């Protein structure tokens, strides 16, 4: 069993990610569209952004969710979609129900069911789920209502100070899903509590971003991309 020290990722010790220059970006294809996601006998209009290489198949699907004050556009602005596509993955970001360009709202008790339907409509299979803050209500319900089978629904999980971890903490120890716990060291509210809960996941790695607060991936995109690249590169799927 790995020691606690072995399970900490220090972004400053990781090599830079592959260069995303104009040539690299010109090799990527982007698509923005609204899809229909069926749930509760109705269709929700959900806005999506997708980036992938124009030539060649993607090796893995990465699904980016977002926090309460944000949307899919933030992942484009810091180029997380472009970076992950450049690494050979299919990158998808969505505006969750009632946010950004997705007009329809949804009661929270259906969040997990919605995410299951969304993943099916997008044809993602078993994605890596990136889930900051508010989106924890969706990702945690989807993955950990039945924790022993969470790896049947996703290859890996990348929570960034998600909400509602205390609701599922008793489920975590029975899940083997590879997890990268990213948190800003100045996030003393949600970040500290969610990190303590998420460390109960047996196959988790702790990745603090020094000097950053709740939206650490926006404050230090370089650290964020290094951590994500290193984690994805070592996944087995």
Known catalytic membership, residue 187? yes
Q: Is the pLDDT of residue 3 over 70?
A: no
Q: Is the pLDDT of residue 109 over 60?
A: yes
Query: Number of folded domains in the chain?
Result: 1
Q: Considering 83, 171, 214, 225, which one is annotated as catalytic?
A: 214
Residue the block writes with tokens 């995109």: 221
Is residue 112 within 8 A of residue 138, CB to CB? The reply is yes
Is residue 194 within 8 A of residue 167, CB to CB? The reply is no
User: Which tokens hold the place of 120?
Assistant: 């099916």
Known catalytic membership, residue 214? yes
Q: Is the pLDDT of residue 5 over 70?
A: no
Q: Considering 71, 72, 102, 133, which one is annotated as catalytic?
A: 133
Which CATH number fits the domain that encloses residue 145? 3.40.50.1820
pLDDT at 93: 99
Q: Is the pLDDT of residue 44 over 60?
A: yes
Coil, strand or helix: which one is 141?
A: helix
Give just the sign of the alpha carbon dihedral 77, 78, 79, 84: negative
Domain that holds residue 165: 5-233
pLDDT at 57: 83
Give Cα 195 to chain centroid, integer Å.
Answer: 15
pLDDT at 56: 77
> In which band, very low, low, confident or very high, does the pLDDT at 6 lie, cut at 50, 70 and 90?
low
Q: Considering 61, 95, 187, 197, which one is annotated as catalytic?
A: 187
What pTM was estimated for this model as a whole?
0.96
Residue the block writes with tokens 């090796």: 59
φ and ψ of 66, to 5 deg:
-150, 165
Whole-number average pLDDT of the chain: 96
Is residue 53 within 8 A of residue 28, CB to CB? The reply is yes
Q: Is the pLDDT of residue 181 over 80?
A: yes
Report the distance separating Cα 205 and Cα 199, nearest Å.
Answer: 8
> In which band, very low, low, confident or very high, does the pLDDT at 237 lie, cut at 50, 70 and 90?
confident
Give mean pLDDT, residues 90-109.
Answer: 97
């Amino acid at each position: 069993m790995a020691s606690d020290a072995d399970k900490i990722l220090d972004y400053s010790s990781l090599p830079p990610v592959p260069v995303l220059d104009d040539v690299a970006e010109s090799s990527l294809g982007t698509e923005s569209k609204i899809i229909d996601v069926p749930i509760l006998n109705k269709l929700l209009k959900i806005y999506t952004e997708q980036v992938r290489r124009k030539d060649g198949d993607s090796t893995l699907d990465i699904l980016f969710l977002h926090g309460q004050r944000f949307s899919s556009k933030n992942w484009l602005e810091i180029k997380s979609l472009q970076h992950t596509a450049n690494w050979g993955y299919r990158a998808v970001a969505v505006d969750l129900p009632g946010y950004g360009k997705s007009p329809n709202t949804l009661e929270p008790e259906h969040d997990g069911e919605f995410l299951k339907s969304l993943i099916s409509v997008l044809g993602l299979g078993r994605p890596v789920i990136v889930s900051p803050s508010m989106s924890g209500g969706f990702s945690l319900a989807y993955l950990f209502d039945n924790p022993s089978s969470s790896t049947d629904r996703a290859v890996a999980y990348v929570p960034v100070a998600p909400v509602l971890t205390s609701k599922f903490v008793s489920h975590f120890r029975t899940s083997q899903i590879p997890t990268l716990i990213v948190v800003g060291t100045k996030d003393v509210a949600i970040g500290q509590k969610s990190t303590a809960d998420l460390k109960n996941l047996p196959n988790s790695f702790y990745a603090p971003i020094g000097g950053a607060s709740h939206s650490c991936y926006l404050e230090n995109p370089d650290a964020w991309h290094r951590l994500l690249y290193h984690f994805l590169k070592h996944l087995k799927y």
